[in-house]
Amino acid sequence: MQETFLKLLTAKPTAPVDNVQAYIFRTANNLSIDLARRQRLMPLVDNSDDVLNRLSASDRIRNGSMILI
């Protein structure tokens, strides 16, 4: 809701808005679609530790994830 309001305040329509209610609804709808896309692209669980554990020692050294003493 706040993002929609901010977007509407900063928007510079290229043409006159005939139907303000439809314009607001379309803006909110587009923002919700953008949010859904961003969430779909982000992994829900960080599996980086699992990947690092499966790498060989030389791969971990090359990636800088192994501490040499």
Domain ranges, ordered by start, for the chain: 2-62
Q: What percent of the chain has pLDDT over 70?
A: 58
- Digit-coded pLDDT (tens) for 9-30: 888 878 898 999 999 999 999 9
User: Does the pTM exceed 0.75?
Assistant: no
Residue 11 carries which DSSP code?
-
Amino acid letter, 28 = A
